[in-house]
Every structure is written in C-alpha cells, then in structure tokens.
Amino acid sequence: MRVIEIREPGGPEVLEVATRDAPEPREGELLVRVKAAGVNRPDCLQRMGGYAPPPGASDVPGLEIAGEVEALGPGAEGFKVGDAVCGLVPGGGYAEFCTVHASNALPAPAGFSFNEAGAIPETYFTVWHNVFQRGGLREGEVFLVHGGTSGIGTTAIQLAKAFGATVLATAGTEEKCKACLDLGADRAINYRDEDFVAAVRDATNGVGANLILDMVGGSYIERNFDAAAEEGRIVQIAFLGGPKAEVNFFKLMVKRLVHTGSTLRPRSIEFKAQIARELHEKVWPLLEKRQVAPVMDTIFPFERASAAHARMEEGQHIGKIVLDLDG
C-alpha cells in the first residue's frame, strides 16, 4: 500500500509517498480500505517532531479515516466487509489501508461522501468529550469557543447550538467571524479588533461564559478567567499561544472556577469506545438529518499531503482539510 511518511522532522516538504505492507487486523480490529483521511493540527506537530505516536501506534500520521471495511480481525463485531465506516485511530491514517478498533469506528452517516465522513471522527470525538462530557455544557448556558473556524471550532459551534447553548466564538478576520455566525454562533468576536473579555461581558450583561473551550493558552489563560462566569468551567485542549503564562489564580478562587484539560490520542480504546457510543446515540441522528455537518475547507489528493499541511499552517482555513484517496 501507499502511505505518507515523515522523512525527518521538519516542514511540510518532509512528507513523502512511500510503500509499505498493509497492516493485518488484530483482535477486535477492522481493516479499512481508506477513501479519505482527515488532516489535523496534531499531524503537523508530529511531522515537526513534537508529538510522538503512543506506544504501539503506527508512525504514519493521520488520526481519522473513512472508507470501506476490507476485513475483520478475530472478535471484531458490529460491522461486515463492505460497510462504509469512519473511525478514530491513534496513527496510520495517511495510508491506503488502516486498522481501527471496531469499538472506535462508526457507520459513515447516510448521505455523506467519504471525504465528509473522513472529516468527522477527530473533531467530533474531541468536542463531545471536552465540551459535553468534561465541560458539562447544558442547555441554556453560554459557551465561548476560541478559534471558531478551526475544525474543532466549527464542530463545537454547531453541536453547542444543537443542544441549546448560547454560543460566542472568536476568530481573526471578518470573513471568519461571518462564517461563525453562518454556523449559528450568536456572537462572533474578531480578536484582532476587540478585547474578547469585554465582548463576552457585553454579550452576557456582565455575567460571563459558563464554559470556555480554549486551544490558545498563553495570555488567554488569565483572560479566560476574566471572561468566565462564576462557577464557570474552562477546558484546555491545545496551546497554540504557548503552555506557560503568568496567571493570577486568585481569580479562580473568587469565581470558583474549574480549569481542566485533556488529550485524546493516548487514551485507551475503551475510553474512546464510550465516546463513540454516545456520539452514535446523540449526535449521529443530527448528522443524518444534516442538522450538523463537517465544514469542508479544502480536499487535497493523497499525494499532496505536504500542501494540505501547508494549508493548515497558514491558518486561513475555515473548517476541515482532508486527503482524498478515492479520486
């Protein structure tokens, strides 16, 4: 099979097409003929040498796939050969064949192309866990998401609105702010022109956001404390602005805030399976009605993985970037 390998740590140009033996499905796994592979920021971090795959995972980048079941390993349940599926994998997605544990796979939503289905797992698993499970977002609460036009942001806006939250989103251009509003955000804040703390206070009559999903870190950490409501929750999922900051933690005490965080890739198969079950029950019906859907930015041919990474790192994308293996 063809795969995309990381020749050495570096820029997008270090990605190259190579040939390897196709993997064999192990206990409980599906072998999937990959039709589409989502591109995510952790893939770029791995390419630069900053995010090694967990023990036992493929060194080939790629955390989400969609395609057809080619074979079933011993004990794999819930699918049959030929089924259209999408799944979350700890690595190996940039390849013509990839294994995924059956419990971490889901049927491709009816009516979705493989490219669309390949844009679902990483962001939907991440948002469901961090916004709804860990963050505990409830109907009627105010939710602030930073990076509203990222894959995570576009997914978070749609799901939060679908479950009855008031949604505020930050973005860096007027075009991106309009995209957030088009997805259902109640207020889009251009962080280059506005202080998001003041904007959040204004939008909430001084109360603040009940839940904040942050992938920036750095100076945003203390500013999130300022933007949060009393008893607010802040969930950290990345540090694009750096993992270190000088913070007045007295604000956390006074407001009785909870600041937590998580990473998904190294978590167990069983942990991810529980997310998959909840997604299938609560979110898949919304997808099949297209009440929510991945926002597609650019679809690149498989061979142009380096261009896909360059697009990701330019920061101009709105929604998901996908590699097409079926074109």
Name the band, by pLDDT with cuts 50, 70 and 90, for residue 279: very high
Mean of pLDDT values over 278-288: 98
On the question of pLDDT at 57 being above 90, the answer is yes
Mean of pLDDT values over 248-274: 97
Residue 175 is predicted with a pLDDT of 97
Backbone φ, ψ for residue 319 (5° rounding):
95, -145
Tens of pLDDT, residues 120-164: 999 999 999 999 999 999 999 999 999 999 999 999 999 999 999
On the question of pLDDT at 267 being above 80, the answer is yes
pTM of the model: 0.96
DSSP string, 248-317: -THHHHHHT-EEEE--STTS-HHHHHHHHHHHHHHTHHHHHTTSS-PPEEEEEEGGGHHHHHHHHHHT--
Backbone φ, ψ for residue 240 (5° rounding):
-65, -25
The mean predicted confidence, pLDDT, of the chain is 97
Residue 247 is predicted with a pLDDT of 95
Tens of pLDDT, residues 311-327: 999 999 999 999 999 87
Say whether 37 sits in a helix, a strand or coil.
Answer: strand
Number of residues assigned to the chain: 327
Q: In whole angstroms, give the CA distance from residue 101 to residue 72.
A: 10
Q: In whole angstroms, give the CA distance from residue 303 to residue 19.
A: 12
Q: In whole angstroms, give the CA distance from residue 303 to residue 307.
A: 9
Q: For the domain with range 2-120+265-324, which CATH number is right: 3.90.180.10, 3.40.50.300, 1.10.600.10, 3.30.2290.10?
A: 3.90.180.10
* Domain-wise residue ranges, the chain: 2-120+265-324, 125-261
Percentage, residues of the chain above pLDDT 70? 100
Residue 215 is predicted with a pLDDT of 96
Mean of pLDDT values over 70-85: 98
Residue 327 is predicted with a pLDDT of 75
Tens of pLDDT, residues 163-209: 999 999 999 999 999 999 999 999 999 999 999 999 999 999 999 99
CATH class of the structural domain 125-261: alpha beta
Query: How far apart, in Å, are the Cα atoms of 64 and each of 34, 40, 81, 149?
Result: 10, 9, 19, 19
Q: In whole angstroms, give the CA distance from residue 318 to residue 176.
A: 7
